[in-house]
């Protein structure tokens, strides 16, 4: 595909560079905000347990926002790479194919009908069930066909259905504000999220990552074709289940606290693919880092732009991601 | 502009009938068909006009009020509305009561108002009051309209009696209002006037938050308010809008600022609720002053040994 391959960094170096860059962007995200924050005083205050206003802003607002951005972006990136490997289709992406939308619907059902108060994990569980149902549905509808357009069409249908059900659920809520909150669920935002929400979703996201990253070796075998993979000793049924459950865990729990943010899982693996020699197994981890960096940059951009109230995160990623998707579709048509 | 925009956007979605925005008074509103001198079958399609009609019209002349007047979380006249049939602000609904006067808000049920005018039903549109003087004026105007001038004067008298007297020279706490979805309240709104009359400075009127309809929580905390006024909606079904009011950051801010909750129904419509809101906030401001004085005295006591210069004679 690429005639003059880029001079490739050795794999461990690539991972190290991306890790350092992600951590740096997370710190930059903590440093950026709406009001000047004396970071030194804030850290000192937070460290010594003194409840100064600076420490309060740092611990209760800046830190959860940055961490949630990094974790959510990683989840979307790694899930995008995994779904692309599973469906052997470079257009598979949680947002485009409706997995994020369905996760949002699941979370909306739990939240607005009052189940979120029943037990703490209800909200991320709702998101995960939504994501799982959508992935299974998609697999049935488009898993067998090799055509990328078939997958996109199935995704469009699932996305439309999830969006319609989300709107319906929000309209049925007796709370007058609910109907306006559809923008959050369909576009996503990290504004004024709390540490409690991060701590609720983060362990589930990490579990999802582990399931997905553990499939790297088998995913490389699958790239050679299902028969070849089976002959190499890969249990295809188990691999599919692992990938579907892993992305449902990662995407479902992320979306349940941030709303659906599109295109991250499409752009991240695409940017990383040449850097790992198009190996779907190695693509997983680096796509996670790339996804985290994309979301962190988008979230810093919405705070730095002089637009108040701030833009939704999904607006930012769609502005970059949608033209990207169009160019990919055009490229495929010409090929 | 910003208060109006924020509120119509928010309220327009679900509450439907609850017109809430600042603007012009009754006098400037056009009336197509002339209202009768002594209306007999009054229909109100707006939460604020419900309250005015139920308090000011002659008993037995209110034919119907909006369904919102029966919701205890939004309405101040639940008891008065209990025996009166409700409407949902739809034309068919309203016409079925054969009204000789319809009271509507200025920002809601717009299609209903247009169609009722086309049917030559007298409609009077009433804005929400922009200030406490506006509340008095509105009670007087609507009283005259509904053949209840004496009731209106009695209401205004009771209203003024309930308004607390605030020492204009007392120190004023600096406050931020945080409403559902993180909206605040700016100058030119009734809530801002309520704060001012209660002896409180609004940081979103003139201060670090001026010009922001929906300031991020971070900006709210960095504005270092003395007082945080949360206008919670009691007994609402869950929505993200309410999450900001229980955000851990605001809870932690309670260690630095006095937190007061003020239900939206007290500062939305013309009525005794407004005086109640001023009284509650004035009380909270008094508490703050007492704590402020105690804190200043303690500070001074702790500073005294250091401020004394070496060798200087004790007083």
Average confidence score pLDDT of chain A:
88
Topology of domain B174-296, per CATH?
Rossmann fold (3.40.50)
Report the residue count for chain B.
315
- CB proximity list for A288: less than 8 A, separation 6 or greater: A74, A75, A77, A78, A81, A209, A213, A268
- CB proximity list for B267: less than 8 A, separation 6 or greater: B190, B191, B194, B231, B273, B274, B277
DSSP A58: I
Q: Locate tokens 């406050």: which residue? A: B175
pLDDT digits (tens, 9 = 90+) for B201-256: 999 998 788 888 888 888 898 889 999 999 876 666 778 888 888 888 888 888 88
Helix, strand, coil in percent for chain B, rounding step 5: 45, 10, 45
The answer to whether the pTM exceeds 0.90 is no
CA–CA separation, B75 and B43 (whole Å): 17
Number of domains comprising chain A? 1
pLDDT of B274 reads: 95
Token pair, residue B315, equals 């007083």
* A83: pLDDT strictly greater than 50: yes
Closest CA to B22 of B285, B279, B213, B245: B213
H-assigned helices in A259-312: 264-272, 280-304
CA–CA separation, B297 and B295 (whole Å): 5
Most confident of A5-19, A306-320, B76-90, B228-242: B76-90
- Tell me if A263 is assigned to some domain: yes
pLDDT of B195 reads: 95
- Tell me if A135 is assigned to some domain: yes
Please name the member of A112, A184, A191 whose beta carbon is closest to the beta carbon of B237: A112
Where in chain B are the domains? 2-162, 174-296
CA–CA separation, A295 and A70 (whole Å): 7
CA–CA separation, A161 and A169 (whole Å): 12
- CB proximity list for B9: less than 8 A, separation 6 or greater: A180
pLDDT digits (tens, 9 = 90+) for A248-265: 999 999 999 999 999 999
Average confidence score pLDDT of chain B:
83
- Tell me if A63 is assigned to some domain: no
Please name the member of B216, B249, B256 whose beta carbon is closest to the beta carbon of A191: B216
* B140: pLDDT strictly greater than 60: yes
pLDDT digits (tens, 9 = 90+) for A228-243: 988 999 998 899 889 9
Please name the member of A112, A194, A195 whose beta carbon is closest to the beta carbon of B239: A112
Please judge whether B14 and A179 are an interchain contact, meaning their C-beta atoms are less than 8 angstroms apart: yes
Nearest residue of chain B to residue A310 (CA atoms): B216
Same fold, B2-162 and B174-296: yes
Q: How far lies B70's CA from each of A269, B21, B65, B85, B263, in Å?
A: 55, 21, 9, 10, 16
CA–CA separation, A19 and A74 (whole Å): 11
B70 near B81, Cβ under 8 Å? yes
Closest CA to B138 of B62, B24, B279, B21: B24
pLDDT of A144 reads: 60
- Tell me if A258 is assigned to some domain: yes
Q: Output the domain CATH number for residue A316.
A: 1.10.3470.10
For residue A212, the enclosing domain spans 14-23+69-334
Please give the average per-residue pLDDT across B181-199, as a whole number: 92
* B125: pLDDT strictly greater than 50: yes
Give the burial class of B254: count Cβ atoms within 10 A of its Cβ; 0-12 exposed, 13-18 middle, 19 or more buried: exposed
Q: Which CATH architecture has domain B2-162?
A: 3-Layer(aba) Sandwich (3.40)
Nearest residue of chain B to residue A176 (CA atoms): B14
Chain A residues whose beta carbon lies within 8 Å of the beta carbon of residue B220 = none
φ, ψ of residue A62 to 5 degrees: the values are -70, -45
pLDDT of B302 reads: 57
């Amino acid at each position: 595909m690429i005639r003059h391959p880029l001079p490739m960094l050795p794999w461990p170096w690539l991972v190290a560079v991306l890790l350092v860059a992600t951590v740096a962007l997370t710190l930059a995200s903590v440093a950026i905000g709406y009001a000047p924050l004396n970071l030194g005083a804030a850290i000192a205050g937070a460290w010594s347990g003194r409840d100064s206003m600076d420490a309060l802003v740092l611990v209760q607002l800046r830190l959860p926002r940055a961490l949630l951005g990094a974790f959510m972006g990683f989840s979307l990136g790694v899930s995008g790479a995994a779904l692309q490997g599973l469906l052997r289709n470079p257009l598979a992406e949680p947002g485009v194919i409706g997995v994020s939308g369905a996760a949002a619907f699941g979370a909306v059902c739990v939240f607005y009908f009052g189940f979120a108060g029943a037990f703490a994990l209800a909200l991320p569980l709702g998101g995960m069930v939504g994501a799982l149902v959508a992935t299974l549905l998609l697999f049935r509808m488009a898993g067998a066909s090799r055509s990328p357009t078939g997958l996109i069409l199935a995704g469009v249908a699932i996305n439309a259905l999830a969006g319609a059900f989300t709107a319906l659920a929000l309209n049925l809520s007796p709370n007058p504000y609910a109907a306006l909150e559809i923008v959050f669920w369909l576009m996503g935002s990290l504004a004024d999220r709390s540490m409690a929400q991060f701590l609720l979703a983060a362990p589930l996201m990490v579990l999802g990552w582990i399931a997905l990253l553990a499939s790297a070796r088998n995913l490389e075998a699958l790239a050679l074709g299902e028969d070849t993979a089976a002959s190499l000793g890969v249990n295809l049924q188990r691999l599919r289940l692992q990938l579907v459950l892993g992305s449902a865990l990662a995407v479902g729990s992320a979306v349940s606290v941030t709303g659906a943010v599109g295109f991250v899982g499409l752009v991240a693996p695409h940017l990383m693919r040449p850097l790992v020699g198009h190996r779907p197994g190695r693509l997983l981890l680096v796509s996670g880092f790339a996804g985290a960096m994309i979301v962190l940059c988008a979230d810093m951009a919405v705070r730095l732009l002089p637009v108040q109230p701030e833009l939704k995160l999904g607006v930012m990623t769609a502005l970059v991601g949608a033209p990207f998707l169009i160019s990919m579709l055009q490229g495929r048509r010409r090929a | 502009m910003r208060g109006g925009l924020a509120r119509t956007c928010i309220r327009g979605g679900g509450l439907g009938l609850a017109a809430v925005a600042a603007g012009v008074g009754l006098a400037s509103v056009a009336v197509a068909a002339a209202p009768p001198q002594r209306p007999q079958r009054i229909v109100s399609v707006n939460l604020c006009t419900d309250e005015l009609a139920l308090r000011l019209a002659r008993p037995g002349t209110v034919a119907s009020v909006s369904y919102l007047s029966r919701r205890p979380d939004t309405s101040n006249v639940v008891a008065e509305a209990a025996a009166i049939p409700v409407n949902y602000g739809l034309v068919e609904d309203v016409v079925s009561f054969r009204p000789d006067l319809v009271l509507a808000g200025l920002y809601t049920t717009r299609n209903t108002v247009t169609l009722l005018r086309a049917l030559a039903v007298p409609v009077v549109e009433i804005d929400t009051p922009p200030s406490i003087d506006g509340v008095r004026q509105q009670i007087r105007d609507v009283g005259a309209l509904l053949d209840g001038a004496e009731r209106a004067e009695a209401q205004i008298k009771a209203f003024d009696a309930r308004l607390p007297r605030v020492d204009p020279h007392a120190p004023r706490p600096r406050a931020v209002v945080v409403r559902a979805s993180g909206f605040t309240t700016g100058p030119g709104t009734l809530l801002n006037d309520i704060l001012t009359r209660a002896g409180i400075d609004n940081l979103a009127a003139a201060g670090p938050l001026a010009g922001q309809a929906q300031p991020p929580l971070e900006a709210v905390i960095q504005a270092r308010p003395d007082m945080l006024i949360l206008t919670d909606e009691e007994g609402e079904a869950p929505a993200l809008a309410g999450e900001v009011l229980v955000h851990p950051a605001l809870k932690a801010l309670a260690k630095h600022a006095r937190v007061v909750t003020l239900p939206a129904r007290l500062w939305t419509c013309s009525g005794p609720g407004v005086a109640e809101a001023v009284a509650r906030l004035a009380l909270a401001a008094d508490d703050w002053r007492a704590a402020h004085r105690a804190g200043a005295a303690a500070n001074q006591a702790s500073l005294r040994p250091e401020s004394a210069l070496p060798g200087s004679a004790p007083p």
